[in-house]
């Protein structure tokens, strides 16, 4: 997972705050798409791609955080 170590925390945080949450009004897009997923209305390919796009920064944040904790032990 050396590729994950090469990504700086600044890049991860900026990506989460911009792509991971945009657009901000009326609600973050990732929350809207996750709500659609939970209700079963996430069926259009454009919506699925949109979910992947907005969830990826959050997954990167989770992976990098887990990597930091496991690497420091």
Does residue 30 belong to any structural domain of this protein?
yes
Does residue 10 belong to any structural domain of this protein?
no
Does residue 55 belong to any structural domain of this protein?
yes
Structurally, the chain folds into a number of domains equal to 1
Does residue 14 belong to any structural domain of this protein?
no
The residue segments making up the domain with residue 64 are 24-73
pLDDT for the residue 61: 97
pLDDT for the residue 40: 93
Q: Which two tokens stand for residue 30?
A: 């990732």
Does residue 5 belong to any structural domain of this protein?
no
19-69 per-position pLDDT tens digit: 988 888 888 888 888 999 999 999 999 989 999 999 999 999 999 999 999
CA atoms within 13 A on the CB side of 40: 0
Does residue 29 belong to any structural domain of this protein?
yes
What is the pTM (predicted TM-score) of this model?
0.85
């Amino acid at each position: 997972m050396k590729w994950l170590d090469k990504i700086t925390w600044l890049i991860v945080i900026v990506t989460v705050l911009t792509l991971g949450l945009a657009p901000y009004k009326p609600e973050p897009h990732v929350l809207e798409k996750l709500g659609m997923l939970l209700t079963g209305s996430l069926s259009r390919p454009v919506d699925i791609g949109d979910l992947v796009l907005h969830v990826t920064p959050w997954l990167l944040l989770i992976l990098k955080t887990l990597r930091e904790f496991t690497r420091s032990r």
